[in-house]
């Protein structure tokens, strides 16, 4: 009974046209060109490395230039990770987008997949086909602050100003030069920083940006810093760029200044909270970062109190912070729950976190899901995974336990997956 119910709900959910509110897609090359582009996703390289593949197999000067040889080197390790949900994403792409007939990718059959992928990705309408099959209408980008935002359709690929470099790396000469090139403003302290940020926000908003975003380490604690203190910190950093206290003051000043611009320019400020970079120092590219359970959302209390008009879609790296996020979003009108990020993006964790959210957070403040993908092909399996969990939560928790009608449950699902992202980010 409950399986048939889940299936009925899922069939409806799969009809909906979606917006993906956070990705790392390059709008000039949104799709994979070869199987290697898909296997290069950090989930496969880090899991293969964790399962025994030496890092030098895929990184370093001795690695062959030929993409097919690169893929061949990783394939033998896939058998160790065929239990993982990440592997199932790859198989779903292989089967549904490329027509691969097998349920596993092995040393015997992978060349068949290589050729199927090659044929598919070379088609002139491949991008359209992937978007259509995934039912994606709009895809949010992650744009560096100096991105010119030219040469693509910004209603399909929606710009989003990523600000990690501004907050944490502005003491580096190279980042300062990028800022000068992007804005014409040289930063000498608080006042000039403000002018540079104004230029960036004007540029991004005029080009259709719908959000400002940042990922934050677990020890970050936003606070208002008076401009004279920020000036003092900037001066100290010119002498010693590693001065810990000055760095922290300056970062908090830049961050707070961004929140002020979000208020002024009416942009939601996406916060991705709790990532510790470089924990596994010998890890493969993008396979070094982990969460840190010592993070608490109490660190953001001053920020959320100070900016009641700014909407903060908040992502947490791990389920351990989910209950805090649910409670903060239940109390603060400006805190919105946003997707299932990284280590909380596996089905059993999504089930628990989503059930928690759906039973306690106002329904207009839940943004169901984003893919965080680097290649467009991954929207299909990642959203597919979420939709299946969503159908299960609706069936179990709402239709069976709370005796909701199927239609009422579907209306709730449609709101979090389709309507909320459009309304919260202001898409037409």
Residues in the site for Zn ion, rule: CB under 5 A? 372
Give the nearest distance from C-beta 204 to Zn ion in angstroms.
18
Q: Which is closer to Zn ion, CB of 20 or CB of 372?
A: 372
Q: Which is closer to Zn ion, CB of 213 or CB of 230?
A: 213
Map tokens 């598919």 to a residue: 120
Q: Which is closer to Zn ion, CB of 215 or CB of 319?
A: 215
Q: Which is closer to Zn ion, CB of 7 or CB of 286?
A: 286
Got the DSSP string for 251-274?
A: HHHHHHHHHHHHHHHT--EEEEE-
Helix, strand, coil share of the chain (percent; to 5): 55, 10, 35
Half-sphere exposure of 260 (CA within 13 A, CB side): 14
Give the nearest distance from C-beta 372 to Zn ion in angstroms.
4
Q: Which is closer to Zn ion, CB of 176 or CB of 276?
A: 276
Q: Which is closer to Zn ion, CB of 225 or CB of 258?
A: 258
Give the nearest distance from C-beta 327 to Zn ion in angstroms.
24
- C-alpha 393/C-alpha 409 separation (Å) is 10
- C-alpha 280/C-alpha 263 separation (Å) is 37
Distances (CA, A) of 5 to 348, 388, 412: 19, 12, 16
Enter the tokens of residue 34: 């070869």
Q: Which is closer to Zn ion, CB of 233 or CB of 336?
A: 336
Enter the tokens of residue 289: 């970062």
Give the nearest distance from C-beta 22 to Zn ion in angstroms.
6
Give the nearest distance from C-beta 110 to Zn ion in angstroms.
28
- C-alpha 64/C-alpha 304 separation (Å) is 50
Give the nearest distance from C-beta 385 to Zn ion in angstroms.
17
Q: Which is closer to Zn ion, CB of 234 or CB of 341?
A: 341
Beta pairing partners, 177 = none
- C-alpha 74/C-alpha 58 separation (Å) is 8
Give the nearest distance from C-beta 82 to Zn ion in angstroms.
26
Give the nearest distance from C-beta 24 to Zn ion in angstroms.
6
Give the nearest distance from C-beta 357 to Zn ion in angstroms.
20
Give the nearest distance from C-beta 345 to Zn ion in angstroms.
11
- C-alpha 383/C-alpha 136 separation (Å) is 10
Burial level of 187, CB count in 10 A (0-12/13-18/19+)? buried
Identify which of 255, 252, 262, 257 has the alpha carbon closest to the alpha carbon of residue 310. Answer: 262
Q: Which is closer to Zn ion, CB of 23 or CB of 70?
A: 23
Alpha-helical runs (H) found in 14-125: 35-39, 42-50, 67-74, 85-92, 110-121
Q: Which is closer to Zn ion, CB of 6 or CB of 372?
A: 372
Task: Report residue 107: phi and psi, to 5°.
Answer: -65, -25
Q: How would you classify the pairing of strands 290-291 and 275-276?
A: antiparallel
| Residue facing Zn ion at closest CB distance | 372
């Amino acid at each position: 009974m409950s399986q048939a119910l889940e299936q009925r709900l899922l069939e409806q959910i799969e009809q909906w046209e979606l917006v993906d509110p956070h990705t790392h897609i390059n709008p000039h090359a949104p799709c994979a060109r070869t199987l290697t582009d898909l296997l290069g996703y950090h989930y496969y390289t880090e899991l293969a490395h964790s399962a025994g593949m030496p890092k030098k197999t895929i990184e370093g000067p001795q690695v062959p230039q030929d993409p097919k040889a690169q893929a061949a080197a990783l394939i033998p390790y896939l058998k160790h990770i065929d239990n993982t949900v990440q592997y199932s994403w790859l198989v779903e792409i292989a089967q549904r987008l490329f027509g691969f007939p097998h349920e596993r990718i092995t040393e015997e059959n992978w060349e068949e997949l290589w050729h199927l992928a090659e044929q598919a990705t070379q088609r002139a309408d491949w991008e359209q086909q992937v978007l259509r099959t995934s039912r994606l209408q709009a895809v949010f980008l992650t744009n560096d602050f100096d991105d010119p935002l030219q040469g693509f359709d910004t209603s399909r690929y929606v710009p989003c100003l990523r600000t990690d470099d501004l907050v944490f790396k502005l003491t580096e000469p190279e980042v300062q030069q990028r800022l000068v090139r992007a804005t014409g403003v040289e930063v000498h302290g608080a006042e000039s920083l403000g002018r540079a940020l104004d230029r960036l926000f004007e540029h991004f908003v005029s080009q259709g940006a719908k959000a400002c975003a940042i990922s934050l380490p677990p020890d970050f604690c936003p606070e208002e810093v008076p401009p004279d203190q920020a000036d003092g910190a900037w001066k100290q950093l010119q002498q010693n760029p590693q001065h810990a206290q000055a760095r922290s003051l300056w970062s908090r000043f830049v961050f707070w200044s961004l929140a002020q611009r979000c208020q002024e320019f009416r942009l939601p400020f996406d916060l991705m909270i709790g990532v510790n970079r470089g924990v596994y120092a010998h890890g493969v590219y993008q396979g070094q970062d982990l969460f840190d359970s010592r993070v608490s959302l109490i660190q953001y209390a001053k920020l959320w109190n100070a900016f009641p008009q700014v909407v903060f879609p908040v992502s947490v790296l791990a389920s351990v912070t989910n209950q805090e996020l649910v409670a903060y979003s239940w109390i603060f009108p400006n805190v919105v729950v946003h997707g299932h990020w990284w280590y909380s993006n596996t089905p059993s964790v999504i089930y628990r976190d989503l059930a928690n959210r759906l039973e306690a957070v106002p329904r207009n403040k839940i943004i169901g899901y984003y893919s965080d993908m680097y290649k467009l092909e991954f929207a299909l399996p990642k959203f597919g995974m979420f939709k299946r969990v969503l159908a299960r939560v609706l069936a179990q928790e709402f239709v069976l336990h709370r005796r909701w009608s199927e239609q009422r449950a579907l209306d709730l699902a449609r709101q979090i997956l389709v309507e909320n992202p459009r309304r919260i980010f202001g898409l037409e």
